[in-house]
Amino acid sequence: MILVDRRVGSKELLTPLQASGYDAEITELEYADIAFVGRGPNGSSLDIGVELKNLNDLVQSLRSGRLAGHQLPGLRATYEHAWLVVEGQWRTNDAGMVITYQGKQRGWVPLHGKMTASELEKQVLTLELCGGLHVRYTNSRRDSVRFMGTLYRWFTDVAADQHTSHLALHQQPTLVPISDFRQTVCRFPGVGLKASLAVEVTFESSLRDAVNADMHAWANIVVGERRLGEKTAQRIVNFCEGR
């Protein structure tokens, strides 16, 4: 269930969220425009809040200090994870000022408050890096609603610790197929594709022997005209021992 704050500026999210197939209802939220409970690690619950601001609202709240002095502390105290969604197309003019797209009739116009792109980006970076607020930019209300839905599904489809795409290993493709042994030792620190052949010859394709080898054995492996050396050997031994 996605909870939508009843205030003007927030309640307008209810209909597009429902039209996108999400179970949503109006309520009163002290902080955030929408909120929901997600699935955290080991079956725990996570409170998630999302604050939506168009660019003019964002600049005004930054200028007044309301965002950093009131809304940010409230969001961080209320929710384990809080997002700020900044809605609207923007770019800079020749003077470096932020201008926003207001449709075909008005075109690109300066923001109220006359903020430079550098100032805007620095303040938003401070909210992210120092305030712990996640920031996402969207071009339109449709994009904002789509992101909120994606965020909701990410936190509710499976528990947070069951997302594993960040753990995927990248394996560099090779022109000539190499053995499983060489593919494995290529992931050892300091062992590239060329060195993997020398390692395979040294340990006669025995991964057990390679993993159990001492630093001296690794250091004396010759790759081209050079030894792997003690420094690389120490890194490999530490890796094999899980240190």
Structural domains of the chain, count? 2
CB 33 within 8 A of CB 4: yes
pLDDT by residue (tens digit) across 97-137?
A: 888 888 888 888 888 878 899 999 999 999 999 899 999 99
Q: Are residues 107 and 147 in the same domain?
A: yes
CB 195 within 8 A of CB 241: no
> 167: which 2 tokens?
């753990």
Q: Are residues 120 and 226 in the same domain?
A: no
Q: Does residue 199 sit within a domain?
A: yes
Last residue of a domain, one of 162, 195, 212: 162
> 116: which 2 tokens?
């430079």
Q: Domain of residue 27: give its range.
A: 2-162
Q: Are residues 154 and 211 in the same domain?
A: no
Tell me how far apart the alpha carbons of residues 77 and 147 are, in angstroms, rounded to a whole number.
23
Last residue of a domain, one of 102, 130, 162: 162
pLDDT by residue (tens digit) across 138-157?
A: 999 999 999 999 999 999 99
Which residues fall within 8 angstroms of residue 231, CB to CB, at 6 or more apart? none
pLDDT by residue (tens digit) across 39-72?
A: 988 778 999 999 999 999 999 999 888 888 889 9
Q: Does residue 144 sit within a domain?
A: yes
Q: What is the CATH number of the domain that holds 70?
A: 3.40.50.10130
Q: Does residue 175 sit within a domain?
A: no
Which residues fall within 8 angstroms of residue 100, CB to CB, at 6 or more apart? 55, 56, 88, 89, 90, 108, 109, 111
Last residue of a domain, one of 105, 128, 162: 162
